[in-house]
Amino acid sequence: MFVFGPDVLVTYERTGGFAGIPEKVTVGVSGAAVVNGRKITLDDAEMRGLRAALNGVVTTWSSTAGCDVADHFTYTLAYRGYRATRCWLPSDWRAAVERLEALTRREAATSRETLPGREALTRR
C-alpha cells in the first residue's frame, strides 16, 4: 500500500529479485520516515540530498520493459502526485533510489543491533 498526502514527500518500493524481499520507504516532508515498518528520522543534510535527487526525476510513467526477466526487481516511486512502476531502473531515478535504499540498509543495521540477545553475543 502506498501512502500519499500533503505530508508525504516520497514513497518508494522495491520488490522481487532472487530472494523476493520487499523494501518500502515513505519519507515525510518533515524528515520523518517509515522504512520497512520502522520509524527513523532523516537529518537536514539527508533531506537536502534526497530533495535534490528527487528534483532530477522526470520519468513519471510506468513501463513493463524488462519485466520478462526471471527474478527481476520491480521499482515503484510515488512523488509529486505521480506513481510509476518500472522493472528497469530509469537513469533519472538512480540518485533518488540510491538514497532511499541507503535508508533500508541503515534501518537493517539498526534492527540487527537491537535484536533480543544481541548484547550477550557482543560482550564475549
Residues 97, 54: Cα–Cα separation, whole Å: 9
Distance CA 28, CA 41 (A): 9
Q: Which CATH number fits domain 8-122: 3.90.550, 3.30.1560, 3.30.70, 3.40.1350?
A: 3.30.1560
Domain ranges of the chain: 8-122
What confidence score (pLDDT) does residue 103 get? 96
> How many other C-beta atoms lie within 10 A of the C-beta of residue 113?
10
Give φ, ψ of 105 to 5 degrees.
-70, -40
Predicted model pTM = 0.81
State the Cα–Cα distance between residues 112 and 50, nearest whole angstrom.
25
Least Cα distance to 14 among 103, 82, 80, 81 occurs for 103
User: Quick one: average pLDDT of 102-115?
Assistant: 74
Q: What is the mean pLDDT of residues 62-83?
A: 90
Residue 65, pLDDT score: 86
